Every structure is written in structure tokens, then in C-alpha cells.
Amino acid sequence: MQANHQSINIEALLSHVPLFNGLAPDEIGRIARGTREVNAARGDILFHKGDLSTGFHLIVYGQVKLAFTSPQGGEKVVDILSQGQSFGEAVMFMEKPYMVYAQTLTDSLLLHLSKTVILDELDNDPRLGRKMIAGLSMRLHHLITDVESYSLHSGRQRIIGYLLRDNLESNEESITVTLPTNKGVIASRLNLTQEHFSRILHELSEKGLIVVEGRKIHIPKVETLRRYDL
């Protein structure tokens, strides 16, 4: 993993991050001085469970999984994050060690924003605080939705919901979904074993509800799949 301290590039990147929309150039400049670029290869660990937080990360491009390992050695994926998303803010504010580890799933470019600089800017501009609270609130809502899904929905329903998550109100008759990472990681994210995940995909495929081509999942009739197993 390599760090890059070219603040001019960092300022340009930060100016396009929604979290910092509306900040003046001098404010962006102050945040940039406490920000470093992190170039990570696929499989790099960004932090381990138990590490102390010194700030939070923003993904410029690439993909990161947040996960923990069970006492039996199994992995549970908590979230899969991609371009434009941030992580680590809550732990930063709580002054607690990380409860998960973060690992890149692809070659990635991230920004690490210093806790000290962010706290200083929060004192100067309450708008930034409101945006960060909104982001953390959305993540909490997302977590509660996950818990509800694991508790009340079957494995089949979870997979169908995942495949249609970006097309909940789509009127398109057919769509193609590209899985963002391998089936094992997605299965863990949905609280399923890889075998169970593959078995359900096979079942949906046999019924003609989906056509699987590697990571591409073709859904010939969206509404039929949406109504299946209700």
C-alpha cells in the first residue's frame, strides 16, 4: 500500500466529493492538508479489527469490504463499498477501536482524512456536521434494513432483493445485473453460505427467472422475479 501526498490532486478530488459540496476553497485546502492518498492493490488490508482510528476513508475508485472473522475462522462480510462512499466516521467520533477490518476487493484509490482536521472544520462550519450526521443516519437505516432482511426474509428473498435493489421502481421489462464481486463475498454479505447462494441461483435459473453468465445476471422478466416467492 502506498501513500501519496500531492495536495493539489487531493484538493481537486475533495472538491468533487458530495460531502464537501458548498465548502469554500480555503476550507477544502485545510481539509486537503490533513488528507493523504492511499493507493491500495487488490487484497490490501486498510486496517485491522482492534486498530485505533485516526480518521476516515473515502473511496475515489475501487471496492472495499468491511468484515470480521468468527471464532471458528469464518468470515462475515458486513458491507461492500465502492466509488464515492466513505467509511470509518462513526468509529472516529466514538474514539473506539475498529470493530471490523477493511480489505480492498480491487485495486483502489482512497483518501484518508485526518480526524484532527475534520473536528476542526466541524467547529468552523456546522453544514459539514449536518452532512456527516445525515450520512451516518442513512448507514444506520441501511443496517436496520439488513437486520430485518436476515430475520424475516428467506435466503431466496434476500437474493432476489439484492438483484433488484437498484431497480425497485424500474419499469423495464428486462435488465442485466453485474455482480460487483465474487459470489462468496456477496453470499456472506447476505448472511448466506456460498453453497446456499449458488443453490438458489441455480434454482432461479432452472425456472427461467434468471440467466447466469459469470458475474452477469440477466433477468428476462423483472416483474415475474419480483413477485416470485412473495
Stated as kind and residue range, the H or E segment containing 115 is helix 115-124
Domains of the chain (ranges; CATH) run: 2-152 (2.60.120.10), 155-227 (1.10.10.10)
Do the Cβ atoms of 105 and 63 come closer than 8 Å? yes
What is the per-residue pLDDT across 97-109, written as a single tens digit (0 to 9) for each? 999 999 999 999 9
Express each pLDDT in 176-190 by its tens digit.
Answer: 999 989 999 999 989
What confidence tier does 125 reach under pLDDT thresholds 50, 70, 90? confident
- Categorize the per-residue pLDDT at 8 as very low, low, confident or very high, splitting at 50, 70 and 90: very low
Q: What is the pLDDT of residues 50-60, one digit of tens each?
A: 999 999 999 99
The percent of the chain in helix, strand and coil, each rounded to the nearest 5, is 45, 25, 30
For the entire predicted model, the pTM comes to: 0.78
| Contact (CB, 8 A) for 93 and 153 | no
Rounded Cα–Cα distance for residues 172 and 184 (Å): 29
